[in-house]
Each structure stands twice: as C-alpha cells, then as structure tokens.
Structure 1
Amino acid sequence: MRYSEDHKAKTHQRIIEEAARLFRRDGVGATGLQPLMKTLGLTHGGFYAHFKSKDELVETALRHSVDTLRVSAGENASGPKPLAGFIKFYLSSAHRNDPGAGCPLPTMSSELGQRGQPSPITDEMVRNRLEMIAAELANDDADEQSVLMFCAMVGALSLSRSVSDPELSDRLLKTTRKLLLDQVDTAQTA
C-alpha cells in the first residue's frame, strides 16, 4: 500500500500529540510505547521510523505541550491584565480536570527530576513564565515574587489533582488563585 507524501509527517504529528497528552495525564514512566502506538492504531515497531528513543519523544512532546499551553492560556492575547487571566486559567477547575491538555510541569517536572533527566525545555518554560510574571509586576522585588507566584501555581495545581476530597481540591485552587490575584493587584497599584 502506497501512502501519500505527507502521511509520515501526519503520523509523526499524531504520535507527538498523543504522547504529549498521555505524558501530561499519566506521566512518562506510566506511558509505554506499545500502548501509545496501539492507541493510534500503529505498531510498536513503527515508532522507530519516527523517533530514535522514548527520550527523544519525551523532549518533542514536552516542546509540543509548552507550545500548546501558550495558545490555550491566552498568552498571546492582549489585554489590560494578562497575568490575572493567566492565573485564573492556570488555577481553574477546567485546567485541573484535564491534565492531558494542560501544563506539563505538575506531572512531568518531578518525574523528569526523579529520573535524573532534567530538560532544557523545562528550563525555558520556567524562565519564560517567571519573566512574564515579573514583567507585569514591575516592582523592586518582581523577580522574587515571580518565583513565589509560579511555584505556588504549579504546586497548587499539582496538589489539587492529587487529593481525593473535591472540596479540598477546589479550596486549594480557589485560595491560591485569590491570594495571587490580590498580590498582582497590590503590585500593579503600588
């Protein structure tokens, strides 16, 4: 059977998208290549026509996740308070409830660290977020505040996904969101 010229490229993209979703939802270690390929209706052996290793796929999927999050978080949107919008999005129940489409950091960062495989893409993502937050705060301690705020966001999202009590999960998001938005208001009016 002869495939169209763009078949390989489309298949490659499908593998990246599904891997990014599964890595964010289930983690890297819990996502095997065979089940991943089977989900796509492909063979395990076919994986190696697209990637040298799972590690290469992890990096590619992480990059895809970062790029996808930029769009879904409205990072390119203009408005008077993009940081407030980002906080509201990041600490929302919708983001919590759909880890496969959300930020890769709560799932993947600790796992990559535990595996001894930190990623320069993670470095880039964290630096970009810190710069975005600090630029909007624009005060003397904006760099330090940005670290605290982003760590609080990632931590709150991660914890909200890990507790079994729905009220506690909502409380973690709501309280962190409120306190961070208060901090943004204070910094931007000072």
Structure 2
Amino acid sequence: MRYAEDHKAQTHQRILHEAASRFRRDGIGATGLQPLMKALGLTHGGFYAHFKSKDDLVEKALRCAVDQLNESRAAKLAGDESAAAFIDMYLAPEHRTQPEEGCPLTTMSSELGQRGQPSEITDELIHRMLSTLETGMPSQQESRDKSVMIMAGLVGAMVLARSAKDPQLAERILQTTREQLKQQIAEA
C-alpha cells in the first residue's frame, strides 16, 4: 500500500497532538508510549520513526501544547489582553474540567522539575504569562513582582481546583482566587 507524500508528517502531527493532550490531562509519567500509539491505531515500534525517545516527544509535545494554548488564548481573549481578562480565562471552570486543552504548567511543570528536565519552552510560556499580567500595571518593578505572585496563584489555584473532588470546593478555589488576584491588579 502506497502512502501519500505527507503521510509521515501527518502521522507525526497526530502523535504530537495526542501526546500534548495526554501529558496535560494525565501527566508525563502516566502516559505510556504503547497506549499512546495504540490510541492512534499505530504500533509502538512505529514511534521511533518519529521521535528519538520519550524525552524527545515530551519536549516537542510541550511546544505543541504551548502553541495550542496561544491559539486558544487569542480566540478566548478576543483582543482583550488585560491581566483581568487573562485571570478570568485562566481560572475558568472549563480550564479546570478540560486539562487536555489547557495550560501545560499545571500538570507538566512539576514533573519536568522532578525529572530534572526543565525546559526552555516552559520558560518561554512563563515569560509570556508574566508579560500579559504586567500589562496595565504602573510601576515596572512592582508589576514584575506582582505578576510573579499572580502567576503562581493562577497555576496553584488550578492545581488545587483540579485535585478537589467536591465541585463546589473547586469552584470556590477558582472564584476566590480570581477575585483576590484581580484585586491585586486593581491595587497596583
């Protein structure tokens, strides 16, 4: 059977998209290569025609996740790049219930740190989030400090909300954090 010229490239993209979703939803360690490939109707051995190792896949899937997040963010914010709009978007209930489509920091960053494999892509995402949060804050040094605190609050609140079994508790975490972080911006 003869494949189209771009078959390998399409397959590579399918693997990346599936891995990016699974890593964000389940974590890196919990995502096995064999189940990943099987879900796509591919063989485990075929994985190595596309990636050198799981670590190679992790780095490329992280890039894919960040690119997907940037596209989604642009669509959801629809031109409103204010820190308050970003906080609302990040702490939305949909972000909590759909981790496979959300920010990779909430699931992947702790694992990358534990594995001793921090990534430049993670740094890029952090810097972009900080830049968004600094928008509209008057003092440069104060805005830098507040944006770090706000970003840590965003990621931490999402991690806690996702780990809460009680949906009311999860929503309380998100709502309270949203209100308090937006108040921090207003006081800047």
TM-score, L = length of structure 2: 0.94
- Write the mapping of 1:15-164 to structure 2, written as runs, cut at 5 A: 15-74=15-74, 77-79=78-80, 82-140=82-140, 141-164=142-165
- 8 Å CA contact retained: 2:134, 2:143: yes
Describe the SS at the equivalent of 1:118.
coil
CA offset at residue 77 of structure 1?
Answer: 3.8
Per-residue CA distance 1:63-82 (angstroms, 9 max, x = gap): 11111111112277423x53
- Distance in 2 of aligned mates of 1:158 and 1:99: 10
Deviation at 1:185, TM superposition (A): 2.6
Question: Using the alignment, how far apart are the partners of 1:47 and 1:160 within structure 2?
Answer: 34
Q: Gapped runs of 5+ residues in structure 1? A: none
Given that residues 69 and 102 in structure 2 are in contact (C-alpha distance below 8 angstroms), is that contact kept between their aligned partners in structure 1? yes
Are 1:183 and 2:184 counterparts? Answer: yes
Worse-matched range after superposition: 128-137 or 88-97? 128-137
- Compare 167-176 and 129-138 and name the one that shifted more: 129-138
AA aligned opposite 1:149:
I
Unaligned runs of at least 5 residues, structure 2: none
Q: Is the 8 A contact 1:74 1:86 kept in 2?
A: no
* Structure 1 stretches of at least 4 aligned residues deviating more than 3 Å after TM superposition: none
In the TM superposition, residue 23 of structure 1 has moved relative to its aligned partner by: 0.2
Residues of 1 paired with 2:78 and 2:59: CA distance? 26
**1:62, distance to aligned residue in structure 2 (A):** 0.3
Q: CA deviation at 1:136?
A: 2.9
2:184 counterpart letter in structure 1:
Q
Q: How far apart, CA to CA, are the structure 2 residues paired with 1:106 and 1:136? A: 25
> Is the 1:24–1:103 contact (alpha carbons within 8 Å) kept by the matching residues of 2?
yes
RMSD of aligned C-alpha atoms? 1.4
**Deviation for aligned residue 1:12:** 0.4
* Residue of structure 2 in register with 1:173 after alignment: 174
CA distance in 2, matches of 1:90, 1:147: 15
**Structure 2 letter corresponding to 1:125:** L
Q: Aligned residue pairs: how many?
A: 186
The Cα shift of 1:125 comes to 0.9
